[in-house]
Structure 1
Amino acid sequence: MLVTGLGLILLVGANAHLLYVAVTSQPECVDHFGWDYILFPAFAGFMVVGPILAVGLYEKSRRLAAGLPVSLTRMIFVKPKSGGQILFAGVLLCLLMITWMRAAVIVYALFFGLVPFPGLSHIAPMLFTTPTGWAMLVVGSAIGGLFAAFSFAISAFSIPMLLNERVDALTAMGTSTALVWNNLPVMLTWGALVLALFLLCLATGLVGLIVVFPVLGHGTWHAYRAVSAGAS
């Protein structure tokens, strides 16, 4: 899946730079407005809404596989077969992302009360050198893991399905969950790989998203085609 995705980005990959500009503006924005306390939940939330942001990449993969012309305009103004249902799915994913971010703020408040967020430069000692910090890490990771597993299950194949088939959003999300469950070992590996690549992007100051996001987008489309073909 990743090899196929890398091959496709080499064909038409310039649009990935637009994503880099948009995403890397997040740290500067949250720092400017004093919202650095939501930076890490926001990055995690990006993984939730990532599938809807990759619709243009799915369309590009679909058109290349069908031998149709590809352009940036066609990737931006996508016409999914499900119509407005894909927008509804995007709204649901955005609500899930917001809920996850608010849950992270609540977890912080439960352990540190009204203590102001110390800033990105001081958060590591606060978390790793105090018992309260370790407790928050354990609880926060468990809650975040539940959010991540749920969002991965409902979105792994639902967005490509809404692009390619005439189904409603809830049916697509339910089908996606079933496909993930029926292919659990492979999907766990895929999810771990996505997480590892995302952490690599963070380590490179998000520069890695220029390559990683399009590759994962194209890889996800071909995974959807392979899994849906095997299920039929």
Structure 2
Amino acid sequence: MATILSSDPQISKQLHHILLEVTTAQDLSLHPFVQRFAKGEFSQDAIRQFAMKMLPGSNRFNMAFLKVASKMDSYYARTIMLENAFTEHGQLKPDLAHVALFMRFMKGIDCPKIDVNANDGAFLIPALRFKKFEFCDDEPIVRSLGRFAAIEQVLPAIFTKYIEGLRKIFKGIDDHTIEYFHIHCHLDPEHTDELIQVTQLYIKSEKDIELFRDGVQDMVKSIADMFSWMDENLEKEALA
């Protein structure tokens, strides 16, 4: 439940500062993979491989988010988390759920396989662990929230680069096809603020703040590792 520290506006500022500090120190939008993507240097088949690998993780993200929300004893925190999940699920319109939007993107670029349960390598290849979205029952809530906040913080800049690249790789691709990326650029800053708001309710000590930092750092590193793997292997898989 909410504690004395959680009502301190300085806690919110501190959490935002940690998030910005960590994600700026390792700016994922500058990763070589993202830069190559933005320049349109990947083949169409490589991007199809990318999409097929990302879909299962997109689905797991939503499942993990709801799992963490279900652990919260604060009804106020759950309400904020469910509002976030409400938008992730297309305001309860199945065709507008973000997983469905990603599948629309995949269909638009002619992916040969669209399967949310496909083997994406996340549980076999350590560098792809980001897409597992495993949140153990005993993981402190503040650490889980740090991991989610990191994702919401970095995606707009990354997805802006993806949009640039997709327009080069798939000439004439329309906004309807890539709505998944546009909508994250629009919603994720608000989602970040909501996650900070929830985190405040569970900050009881400096140890909790450090757990939040650890969660942010862990997620940023796992995304960077995934990008490095994709930078090296996407074209190889496209040719296989």
TM-score range relative to shorter protein: 0.3 to 0.5
Q: TM-score, normalised by structure 1?
A: 0.32
Q: What TM-score do the two structures reach when normalised by structure 2?
A: 0.31
